[in-house]
Amino acid sequence: MRTPPSLGGDEPELSLAYSSQSLDGRTAATNNQASWAGDGFELSPGGYIERRYKSCTLDGKKTGDLCWDQDNAVLSLGGSSIELIKDATTKQWRPKRDDGTRVEALTGAANGDNNGEHWRVTTADGTQYTFGLNRLPG
């Protein structure tokens, strides 16, 4: 996708992807949520970190909602996604396919989360990304 020219350096990266497979098996009873780009579409404005949830029915609840499963995260950055693994001993996060990227789960941001959770990712070349640090007005 074309982006406006940047005044001071790197231009933003945008990508739009479609997967009909992401819609397979969805029914009205499973409380489906379309992505912000529409059903089956994913618009990636550079990168993000997200949590995964499991069906609440796996916990014996009779609902179509999704429930917390365990400490987990997925990093989407630079056009690819990778699962983040939390070391049980050190409590440090790292990419499943460790390429030297440093991942820090931090707290204390004024972002509306109960403990202000946010993330700092430093790639092997030293580029630093921050996710969830700030809260937009409104």
Residue 121: pLDDT above 90?
Answer: yes
Nearest to 106, CA basis, from 115, 117, 91, 95:
117
Residue 56: pLDDT above 90?
Answer: no
Residue 99: pLDDT above 80?
Answer: yes
Give the CA angle between residues 92, 95, 98 to the nearest 5°: 105
Q: Which whole number is the average pLDDT over 36-41?
A: 80
Q: Which whole number is the average pLDDT over 53-76?
A: 82
What are the sequence ranges of the domains in the chain? 9-45
Q: What is the pLDDT of residue 62?
A: 75
